[in-house]
Amino acid sequence: MTWPRSRAATAGVVAGLALVVLGALLGRPDVAVLGAAPLVAGVRDWRRRPSADPTVRLVASDAAPVAGSLRADVVVTSPSTVLLGARRGARVLLDAWVVVDGTRRLPLVVHTVRTGPQDVALVDVQGVGPGAACVSEPSPPATRSTLVLPAPRPLGDLPLPPRLRGLTGAHESRRPGEGGGLRDVHPFSPGDRLRRIDWRVTARRAPDLHELYVRREHALAEAVVVLVVDSRDDVGPDPMTWRGSNPPRAQDPTSLDLARQAATSAAQGFLDLGDRVGLDDLGAVRRPLPPGGGRRQLDRIRHALALTRPEGDPLRRLRAPQIPSGALVMLFSTFLDDEAALVASVWRRAGHRVVAVDVLPTLRERHLGDRERLAMRMIRMAREDRLAELADLDIELVTWRESPHVALASLARRVQRRAGAAR
C-alpha cells in the first residue's frame, strides 16, 4: 500500500513551483524566494514519507469489567501520526488525532444499556505523514466481541412461595423449631432445652415448680425460587424494528435486556436472604441451572442470562418445564403470544405461586402510519386479554418498567389463596 500525496501538500508544491518560475521570468528574486520555501518543504516531506502501513487491533482490557460498560484496548502500530475513528453501528463514538511512533495502546470504554454478546466498536486508522504531505489508505476496521453482564438494581421486599423448605434460612416457617417468632408456651417434655424454660410463666402457673414451661418458636427456613426467562422475543421500543429488517437502536434497551436485568435483580434479592435460586429458559431446550445459593450462584445466573438470546424460530414446548415442589416461579416475558401464558397457567394449577413479570419496553408509536397503528391496537388488545386471563388464574402480575420494587413489596405482604380454592 502506498502513501499518496495529500491535496494540501500537492497544492503547496505547485504554488511554490509557480512562484519560482514566475520570479525567474520576471526577474524578481523576491517572488522566487517566496516560492522556494513551500517547494523545498514539500519535496523534503515527500522523501520522508513512511513505508509501513498503519495497523489497528482491539485486545482484551486489563481493567476489571463493569456492568453497563464495554472495555477494550486499541493497539495502534504506525510510524507517524494517525487519525483514529471509532463507531458503533451508525453512531460515531470518536474521531481523534493520535501521535504514534511505533506502537501505542489506548483504552476504549463504551457505555451501553444493552446486555449479552456485544461488539465493542468498529475502529480504523488512517496514517498522516510528516508535514501532512502524504496520507495512507484507511486500515481494515478492527472489532472485538465481548459479553456484557446484566447489572442488578436494588429491590425491597420480595414475595415468598406458599411453602418453605430446609432447616435453615431467613424466613419464618409454620413448623416448630428455633430462630423464629414465638409459637406457643408448652409444658416441659423430653428433648426440650433448659434454656427455653420461661420462668415467669412457670412461676405464674406452677408456683411450687411441680411443672416447668418452655417457650417454643417457629423454625427458620429458606425459599426455593425458579427464574424463567422467555428468550423467544427480543423486541425494542420501536414496533417498526419488530420485523427484523432494522435492528433496534443501540441506546434503546430491548425486552430481553429488561428481562436479564429483572432476573438478575430478583436473583440478587433472594440470594442475599439466603434463599436458593435456579434459572430456566423458556425459549431453548437445555439443562436448566438448578437452584443454589451463594455469591457463586449469582455469578452463574448472570453469565447464563447474558448468553440467553433468541435461537431460530420460536420453540413450542410439548409440556411446561419441571419446577421443584413448593417453589416460587417468576416468569419474565413480553406475553406477545400464548406460549408463556400457557406454561404459567400449568404451574399455577400445579400449586406453585407464579409471578408474571412483563418486560415489554415502553413503545414509541407517534411515527407509525395508520396500518401500523391498527396492527398495534390489535396486538395490544390480544395482550391485554392474555394478561387478564392470567389474573383470573391468580397469577400475580408485575410490570418491570413501572416501579417494580413497589409492586413486589405489595406482593410480599399479600397472602395468596390456595390454587383451585373457591373465591
Task: Tell me the residue length of the chain.
Answer: 423
Expressed in angstroms, the distance from the first to the final Cα of the chain is 80
Rounded CA gap, 211 and 213, in Å?
A: 7
Q: Are 134 and 49 in contact (CB under 8 A)?
A: yes
Encode the chain (423 residues) as per-residue pLDDT tens digits: 467 676 766 666 677 777 777 777 777 777 777 777 677 766 666 666 777 788 888 888 887 767 677 888 889 888 888 788 888 776 777 788 888 878 888 888 888 888 888 888 889 888 887 766 677 788 888 888 888 889 899 998 899 888 776 655 555 555 555 555 565 666 777 777 766 777 777 777 778 777 888 776 655 667 889 999 999 889 999 998 888 778 888 788 999 999 999 999 999 999 988 888 999 998 887 888 999 888 999 999 999 999 998 876 666 666 778 888 888 999 999 999 998 999 999 999 998 999 999 999 999 988 888 998 999 999 999 999 999 999 999 999 999 988 899 999 999 887 554 444 433
Q: Are 167 and 34 in contact (CB under 8 A)?
A: no
CATH number of 224-412: 3.40.50
User: Angle formed by the axes of helices 295-307 and 255-272, to 10°?
Assistant: 170
**Domain locations in the chain?**
7-47, 55-147, 174-220, 224-412
CATH class for domain 55-147? mainly beta
Backbone angles phi, psi at 278, to 5 degrees: -120, 175
